[in-house]
Amino acid sequence: MTLETLREVLGRAEEGAYAVGAFNVSSLDQAVAVLDAAETERSPVIVQAIAGMSAYSDESRWWHRLRALCEEYAQVAVALHLDHGRTYDDCARAIDHGFTSVMIDASRAADSDAPAAFLDNVELTGRVTTLARPAGVSVEGELGTIGGAEAGVTGILEEIVFADPDQAVEFVDATGVDALAIAVGTSHGSVKFTDEAGGQRLRLALIAEIRERLPDTFLVLHGSSSVPADAVTAINLHGGQVRPSYGISPGQKSEGIAAGIRKINQGTDSHLAWSAALRTFLDENAAVVEPSEQLAPAIAAFRGMVAQRMREFGSAGRF
């Protein structure tokens, strides 16, 4: 099976009323974990990378190898996606490297973390769509401002600027995006909400309204990791300093899928699982210096978290 576009992968998700997980990776080891999980769970998957966020100094080589790895999994329906491209150039480079989908995050101002003006968002997103269409590449845009901080963004946005349904329709009409990330109550990063109620704050009615008004546009949930408490505890027991917090509960994500979400971004949960397994192993096996022994439990934990999310999103067993 060749690499697919985001529209192809999410088109089947729409037909089956499930969501496809989009998992952030910053090394080939993590990408293998995601693709192994997809193969075992018989799940479609979106492998996504962020410009400037990897374990390698040469991003071009990293991106080429990431695409080649995805192509090796012939039985898996996989889209290779650029997550949170901040510039036109980010998206252009990803398209040149064979990514089948790009996200242009023009919801923030180019020179700060402040929300961008709506017309500026439309202009930049439209330029990327114009570039991507002839190459057969899908485009995701973002409307509203999701709280917290995604990788590569240093500032913290305390306030969530929720997506407006009227603007969502105007935005899609003007830009022609295939998918739209909407701010509906989620938050980026490993520290999300300080109270348990924070994980129950998805605006489900807002999702449903936008879905009804944009039936041909796939809705995306960013910042939706659940922040498993056991992983945070394990990290901190073995020398880490992750502040405990609450993420979006699996039940809320299921309700979001029922309301119309078709792509769910997941980075923090699998990163926490990786870090917890690695720290635990190193702390309990202080004399081990062989990298393969150190990495094996981290890869397994990463793979296990991805597989769990695939089952929760309803994408498992779809091929």
Residue in 29, 58, 83, 96 annotated catalytic: 83
pLDDT of residue 118: 94
User: Own/partner pairs for 288-291, CB < 8 Å, 24+ apart?
Assistant: none
pLDDT of residue 115: 86
Query: Using one digit for the tens of pLDDT, what is the confidence trace for 162-183?
Result: 889 999 999 999 999 999 999 8
Residue of higher predicted confidence among 212 and 160: 212
Which ranges constitute the DSSP H helices of the chain? Answer: 6-16, 28-41, 59-72, 88-96, 118-132, 165-175, 204-213, 229-237, 250-259, 268-284, 291-313
Query: Using one digit for the tens of pLDDT, what is the confidence trace for 89-121?
Result: 999 999 999 999 999 999 888 777 788 999 999
Domain assignment present for 239 = yes
Domain assignment present for 103 = yes
Domain assignment present for 166 = yes
Domain assignment present for 318 = no
Query: pLDDT confidence of 156, banded at 50, 70, 90?
Result: very low
* Domain coverage including residue 293: 6-313
CATH of the domain at 31: 3.20.20.70
pTM: 0.92
Domain assignment present for 319 = no
Number of domains in the chain: 1
pLDDT of residue 199: 45
pLDDT of residue 111: 74
> Of 264, 178, 176, 259, whose CA–CA distance to 220 is shortest?
264
Domain assignment present for 58 = yes
Domain assignment present for 1 = no
The whole-angstrom separation of Cα 11 and Cα 141 is 17
- For the CA atoms of 167, 170, 173, 174, the dihedral, rounded to the nearest 10 degrees, stands at -100
pLDDT above 90 coverage of the chain, percent = 81
Query: Using one digit for the tens of pLDDT, what is the confidence trace for 195-244?
Result: 555 444 789 999 999 999 999 999 999 988 899 999 999 999 999 999 99
Give yes or no: 83 in active site: yes
pLDDT of residue 245: 85
pLDDT of residue 196: 54
Query: pLDDT confidence of 155, banded at 50, 70, 90?
Result: very low
Which ranges constitute the DSSP H helices of 133-187? Answer: 165-175
